[in-house]
Structure formats: structure tokens, C-alpha cells
Amino acid sequence: MSVTRRALAAAGLAFGLVALSFSPAQASTWFLGPAPAGCQLGALCVYKDINFEAGGWGVANFHASNVDWTQTSNAYIAGNDSSWYNNGTPGGKTSVIVMTRPDLPNSGSPEFCLDRGWGNTWDLASNDAGRSNRWVFGPC
């Protein structure tokens, strides 16, 4: 390899390392704010796409604990979910646990918990894997 090629290769590598060091950090997936579109008061709202986008499917609103989403009127969202928001009401069970398996005794599947007013815009472990939810006394 000629001196010129080595110099160009070294310059390219240095530029690439500098660019990497200034790349933006991964955005947080947690969201604290007002309820997204289509999210009913008192519900765990589940969206097909990230960032609370319904993706043409509509929003699945779960007002109670559900052992298995496939056994509800919102069965279409089971295994197709990508973002979640807790629009629960004050008092009582205000936090909700989202699970990737049916909520059966000893299932060991809790993935994350959302307090009232909190959402998750995307979650690697739970993306397209949600299966059940349980309302609990908060905070998480």
C-alpha cells in the first residue's frame, strides 16, 4: 500500500471515529406527558407502532387486568404491540404491568410497569410480544 493510500485510509478512519463520538445518543423510550390520541381515560392504551402510532389498527384500550389479550375484544394487538401508555384514573390501582406471556401464576413474564401518566414509546424486549396486563397499586 502506498504512503498516500495509507494516509487516506488513516484520515478516513479518524474521521469515522470522530463522527461516531459525536453521534446523538439513543433517545429514551420512556414518556411522561398527556395521553396520546385515541387513549381512553382509565385505560392501558396499546399501539401497534412505536411512538403511540396506531398503524391503521386502532388503539387497544384495556380498562381492567387481562390474563390473555387473545381472549379479549382487543385480541388483534396481542403480539403486535410496540408502544404503551397508562391513562389510568387517580385512586385505586393506578399502575399497570405489561407482560409478554399470559398472566398466570408463576409465569415469570413481567416486562415493565407504567405509573399513571407514563408511557413507553418502544421496548426491545416487549416489541410485538405483549400478551397480558395487570393493574396494581402504585407506584411501580
| CB within 8 Å of 32: residues ≥ 6 apart | 117, 118, 119
For residue 56, the Cα-to-chain-centroid distance in whole angstroms is 18
The rounded distance, in Å, linking the Cα atoms of 123 and 17 is: 28
55-94 pLDDT, tens digit per residue, is 989 999 999 999 999 999 999 999 999 999 999 988 889 9
Instruction: List strand residue ranges (DSSP E) for 10-122, in order.
Output: 30-32, 43-47, 60-62, 83-87, 95-99, 110-114, 118-120
For the segment 4-24, what is each residue's pLDDT rounded down to a tens digit?
444 434 444 343 333 333 333
Domains, the chain, in order of start with CATH, read 30-136 (2.60.20.10)
